[in-house]
């Protein structure tokens, strides 16, 4: 069974416009509501693909009902951590259809009480040993980096395979704790290690991990798997032959595809890249059209 922690839940209001001109009348020509937060995208994809999974997170506030109905619509099993103070955030994603770009505005998170934090431990202790656990995204205020470390330690004592898509202090902690897999992008890697990205620096800073990927945007990613460092390149034909609608959520869908690859004994990095690319073809930040998947692998090179 796959468990995910999206502690800082969110709803994404995705607004698609032709243009974004200041002081002008910019018409909205499409609008979508997507499941926000990062690890929940793994639940969404695995449910679509028929793999059992459970999402764990806080929910509350004005967005709470809509969050619940999106979970129901996608048949996602959600283990809610009750909180009196937590508010599910509203994120606004503006997609500029003409210039193929998306901009995200994320509401500040509300804070948790110490009692709320204790409930995270209660949920974590119920997770069966040797589970695959995805922990991704920002944490609500009140859930500190040392709380994050405690969660990692709790799950490592249960021999869980931890897949962490986190940044800043939490990324540093995940690397120091030797979790199974991390996926910093170039900026997050440089923020921690302030060096260029090559096989030597990756081995120096991440070599003790079972697996890692440093994502390079449209250039693919450098990754370590089965003790070998490789690179996945995406052919420029992908952007030439397809309409890239929005890259918001691509990193989240990479993690989802990675887990699917682990579950199906396929190269998890290829699967992560494929589902990340599929997400880019849709406006929604949680959207993937499974009918487009088989046509994507041809754009991926080693
Ligand atoms: O990566 C895209 C996304 O997950 C959006 O869906 C939006 O909800 C935001 O990022 C949430 O990120 P955070 O790390 O704050 O949970």
pLDDT tens digits in sequence order for the chain, 302 residues long: 999 999 999 999 999 999 888 999 999 999 999 999 999 999 999 999 999 999 999 999 999 999 999 999 999 999 999 899 999 999 999 999 887 689 999 999 999 999 999 999 999 999 999 999 999 999 999 999 999 999 999 999 999 999 999 999 999 999 999 999 999 999 999 999 999 999 999 999 999 999 999 998 878 899 999 999 999 999 999 999 999 999 999 999 999 999 999 999 999 999 999 999 999 999 999 999 999 999 999 999 86
94-121 in b/e form (b: 16+ CB < 10 A) is bbbbeeeebebeebebbebeeebbebbe
Identify whether the C-beta of residue 53 lies closer than 8 Å to the C-beta of residue 134: no
Pick from 6, 67, 106, 284 the residue to mutate for probing ligand 1's pocket: most ligand atoms within 8 Å of its CB: 106
Pick from 38, 66, 256 the residue to mutate for probing ligand 1's pocket: most ligand atoms within 8 Å of its CB: 38
**The predicted structure's pLDDT at residue 100:** 67
Describe the chain by its helix, strand, coil percentages, rounded to 5.
40, 25, 35
**The predicted structure's pLDDT at residue 220:** 85
Task: Please state, in angstroms and rounded to a whole number, the distance separating the CA atoms of residues 70 and 266.
Answer: 29
Task: Tell me how far the alpha carbon of residue 109 lies from the centroid of ligand 1, in angstroms.
Answer: 12
**The predicted structure's pLDDT at residue 152:** 98
* Atom 10 of ligand 1: nearest residue by CA position: 37
Task: Tell me how far the alpha carbon of residue 138 lies from the centroid of ligand 1, in angstroms.
Answer: 8
* Atom 1 of ligand 1: nearest residue by CA position: 249
Task: Tell me how far the alpha carbon of residue 38 lies from the centroid of ligand 1, in angstroms.
Answer: 5
pTM score, whole prediction: 0.97
Pick from 37, 141, 285 the residue to mutate for probing ligand 1's pocket: most ligand atoms within 8 Å of its CB: 37
What backbone torsions phi and psi does residue 11 show, to the nearest 5 degrees? -115, 135
What backbone torsions phi and psi does residue 191 show, to the nearest 5 degrees? -60, -35
CA angle 294, 300, 302 (to 5 degrees): 140
Kindly give the number of the ligand 1 atom that is closest to the alpha carbon of 89. 8
Q: Residues with beta carbon inside 6 Å of ligand 1?
A: 8, 10, 12, 36-38, 91, 106, 137-138, 248-249, 251-252, 285
**The predicted structure's pLDDT at residue 190:** 94
- Nearest alpha-carbon partner for 284 in 261, 259, 253, 255: 253
């Amino acid at each position: 069974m796959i468990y995910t922690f999206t502690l800082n839940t969110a709803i994404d209001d995705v607004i698609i416009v032709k243009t974004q001109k200041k002081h002008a009348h910019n018409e909205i020509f499409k609008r979508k509501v997507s499941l926000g937060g990062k690890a929940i995208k793994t639940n969404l994809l695995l449910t679509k693909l028929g793999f059992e999974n459970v999402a764990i997170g806080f929910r509350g506030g004005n967005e709470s009902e809509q969050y619940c109905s999106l979970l129901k619509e996608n048949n996602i099993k959600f283990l809610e951590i009750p909180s009196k103070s937590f508010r599910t955030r509203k994120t606004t994603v503006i997609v500029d259809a003409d210039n193929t770009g998306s901009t995200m505005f994320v509401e500040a998170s509300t804070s948790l009480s110490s009692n709320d934090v204790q409930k995270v431990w209660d949920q974590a202790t119920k997770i069966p040993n040797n589970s695959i656990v995805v922990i991704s995204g920002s944490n609500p205020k009140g859930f500190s980096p040392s709380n994050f470390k405690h969660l990692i330690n709790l799950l490592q004592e249960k021999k869980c395979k931890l897949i962490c898509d986190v940044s800043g202090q939490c990324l540093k902690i995940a690397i120091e704790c030797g979790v199974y897999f991390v996926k910093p992008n170039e900026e997050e890697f440089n923020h921690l290690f302030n060096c260029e990205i090559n096989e030597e620096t990756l081995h120096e800073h991440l070599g003790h991990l079972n697996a890692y990927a440093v994502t390079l945007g449209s250039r693919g990613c450098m990754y370590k798997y089965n003790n070998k460092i490789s690179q996945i390149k995406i052919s420029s034909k992908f952007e030439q032959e397809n309409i890239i609608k929005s890259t918001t959520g691509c990193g989240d869908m990479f993690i989802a595809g990675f887990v699917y690859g682990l579950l199906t004994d396929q190269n998890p990095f290829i699967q992560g890249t494929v589902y990340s690319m599929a997400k880019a073809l849709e406006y929604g930040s949680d959207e993937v059209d499974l009918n487009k998947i088989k046509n994507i692998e041809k754009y991926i090179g080693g």
